[in-house]
A and B are shown apart, each in its own frame.
Chain A
Amino acid sequence: GAVVSQHPSRVICKSGTSVKIECRSLDFQATTMFWYRQFPKQSLMLMATSNEGSKATYEQGVEKDKFLINHASLTLSTLTVTSAHPEDSSFYICSARLPLGIEQYFGPGTRLTVT
């Protein structure tokens, strides 16, 4: 099966600092990865689509200057939360599709707490 990893699994940072979350496809190349945000007891909210070698496509209402996405290789996408605030505290999940695939395979998620 397709395996997606995320690092770190949990991070606590202070208000005003930046945090980088890595998403890797371990056993396949992913030209497209996705970043989601999930609040407690809620569904997943798509933040952006990350395309290898080009700019990410952000969903409406997601600040691209705050949530920086870089997809530098076919197996790695990063999400950087810049100048984090307590309201950015959430569970961030990435996913990837197999080439020509349809279903998404998800990473284990990163729980971000901003104090």
Chain B
Amino acid sequence: AQKVTQAQTEISVVEKEDVTLDCVYETRDTTYYLFWYKQPPSGELVFLIRRNSFDEQNEISGRYSWNFQKSTSSFNFTITASQVVDSAVYFCALSEASSGGSYIPTFGRGTSLIVHP
């Protein structure tokens, strides 16, 4: 069974601080996919990134960066120089390739990020 743990329920920072959101996963599959989604107060989930299990390269996109480490089963998300607009709930999710092609993700409980001006 697949499992995603986001231990941080809520993080509060001041604008321009760097912040890291943790995600730890469990799976028995050797092929799987990891995702991060952002859910702002409006409610719509926004896809941020997908990572394949066979690609451990870290990724940077503007102020966002992701650190994927299979050795620790973690897929952490860092926001550099946070801004008020980054305030949202962030979900980490996992899909297993053995799901018969459905790739239905298991979501973590989410981390609420509050960025104060």
Q: Tell me if A43 and B43 are in contact (CB < 8 A).
A: no
A65 within 8 A of B: no
How many whole Å from A33's CB to the nearest CB in chain B?
Answer: 12
The interface size of chain A toward B, counting residues with CB under 8 Å, comes to 21
The residue that B43 contacts in the complex, of A49, A102, A104, A111, with Cβ under 8 A, is A111
The residue that A103 contacts in the complex, of B47, B109, B110, B112, with Cβ under 8 A, is B47
How many whole Å from A20's CB to the nearest CB in chain B?
Answer: 19
Which residues of B lie under 8 Å from residue A41 when comparing CB positions?
Answer: 112
The interface size of chain B toward A, counting residues with CB under 8 Å, comes to 21
The residue that A102 contacts in the complex, of B33, B42, B110, with Cβ under 8 A, is B33
Q: Give me the interface of B with A, judged by CB distance under 8 Å.
A: 33, 35, 37, 42-47, 50, 91, 95, 102-105, 107-110, 112
Q: Tell me if B104 and A106 are in contact (CB < 8 A).
A: no
Q: Tell me if B43 and A34 are in contact (CB < 8 A).
A: no
In the bound complex, what is the Cα–Cα distance between A41 and B89 (angstroms)? 9
Q: Give me the interface of A with B, judged by CB distance under 8 Å.
A: 32, 34, 41-44, 46, 49, 91, 93, 95, 97, 102-109, 111
Instruction: Check A103/B91 contact, CB under 8 A, given A43-B107, A43-B108, A49-B104.
Output: no
In the bound complex, what is the Cα–Cα distance between A61 and B60 (angstroms)? 40
Q: Tell me if A108 and B43 are in contact (CB < 8 A).
A: yes
The residue that A97 contacts in the complex, of B103, B109, B112, with Cβ under 8 A, is B103
